[in-house]
């Protein structure tokens, strides 16, 4: 599970900083999370193959989280894309995008499939044999969701030396990985656990931006491997949180601590601060394993 930060600042693009967008690679999937202005340029700089992006998750309809979407969709058309593109976002996202395509007479030559959301309870958005994606209802000025990405338990790992010693034909190795017992070359039933190792524990990633301090999400994100949580303000500007429905670094760290997550990544920084290490100064005394998002920084989760 690899997370690439394409943009991590709030409100407006800056000379060297982009608004929110992330790329999560997990079990063969390449999920785009939010699509602020400049996302397709950031994707190019990250040398991402556009055709691999088949699912885009939009948290809410504030411009710094989706203004790059129409440009990316249009570029896909110009590149001759044929694969379906699924867009998950709040009700209204389809109207916003299709009116631009309609007035520009620029309909896509691929299937553009919208999944519009309006539930205030967690929803399963995507599932296959390897991964599932759920919404995390958040508390912002407009309808907003975070997203929880969870690996499913993988295959068992083959202990080659033990399997050979047990005289198991290699045609049964795939069956062993699926957890089955097999019969060896002498007709003896060999228990799976004696010739395999357990699979790696499944990993999980929770994306929570934008939101006010919202302890209601803690049960859903309990124990996730990594949590990205917005931290727009420092404590000196905490009074702005009530009006804007954003969070401070200390509040984000409190969520991470109480949810017992493995790692906290802070982002959605206000451009009023010149020194981002001040976020760490405020968060790490509460949750030590805190890191800062940075444009083009890669996290191996």
* Half-sphere exposure in the Cβ direction for 63 (13 Å, CA): 5
CB 148 within 8 A of CB 138: no
DSSP class per residue in 27-70: TTEEEEEEE-TTHHHHHHHTT--GGGEEEEE---SSGGGTTTHH
Separation CA 73–CA 89 (nearest Å): 15
| Burial of 223 from C-beta contacts in 10 A (0-12 / 13-18 / 19+) | exposed
Residue 36: closest CA among 62, 74, 15, 2: 62
Largest CA distance in the chain: 75
The helix or strand, by DSSP H or E, that contains position 250, with its residue range, turns out to be: helix 249-259
Closest CA to 31 of 154, 116, 110, 147: 147
Residue of 34, 64, 210, 295 with catalytic role = 64
Asked if 114 and 143 count as a contact pair (C-beta separation under 8 A), the reply is no
Residue 268 corresponds to which tokens in the numbers above?
């959605």
Residue 58 CA, distance from chain mean position: 11
The reply to whether 64 belongs to the active site is yes
Q: List, by residue number, the catalytic residues.
A: 64
């Amino acid at each position: 599970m690899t997370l690439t930060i394409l943009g991590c600042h709030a409100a407006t693009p800056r000379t060297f900083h982009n608004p929110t967008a992330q790329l999560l690679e997990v079990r063969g999937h390449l999920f785009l999370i939010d699509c602020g202005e400049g996302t397709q340029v950031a994707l190019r700089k990250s040398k991402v193959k556009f055709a691999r992006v088949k699912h885009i998750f939009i948290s809410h309809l504030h411009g710094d989280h989706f203004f790059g979407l129409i440009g990316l969709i249009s570029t896909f058309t110009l590149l001759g894309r044929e694969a379906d593109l699924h867009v998950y976002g709040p009700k209204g996202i389809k109207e916003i995008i299709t009116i631009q395509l309609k007035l520009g007479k620029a309909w896509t030559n691929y299937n553009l499939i919208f999944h519009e959301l309006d539930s205030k309870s967690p929803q399963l958005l995507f599932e296959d044999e390897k991964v599932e994606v759920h919404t995390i209802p958040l508390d912002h000025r407009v309808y907003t969701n975070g997203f929880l990405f969870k690996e499913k338990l993988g295959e068992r790992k083959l202990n080659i030396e033990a399997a050979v010693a047990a005289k198991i034909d290699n045609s049964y190795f795939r069956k062993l990985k699926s957890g089955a017992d097999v019969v060896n070359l002498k007709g003896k039933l060999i228990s799976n656990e004696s010739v395999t190792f357990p699979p790696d524990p499944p990993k999980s990633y929770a994306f929570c931006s934008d939101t006010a301090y919202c302890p209601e999400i803690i049960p859903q994100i309990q124990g996730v491997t990594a949590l990205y949580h917005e931290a727009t303000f420092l404590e000196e500007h905490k009074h702005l949180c009530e009006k804007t429905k954003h969070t401070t670094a200390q509040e984000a760290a409190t969520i991470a601590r109480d949810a017992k997550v493995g790692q906290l990544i802070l982002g959605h920084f206000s451009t009023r601060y010149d020194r981002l290490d001040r976020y760490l100064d405020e968060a790490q005394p509460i949750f030590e394993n805190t890191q800062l998002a940075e444009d083009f920084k890669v996290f191996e989760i």
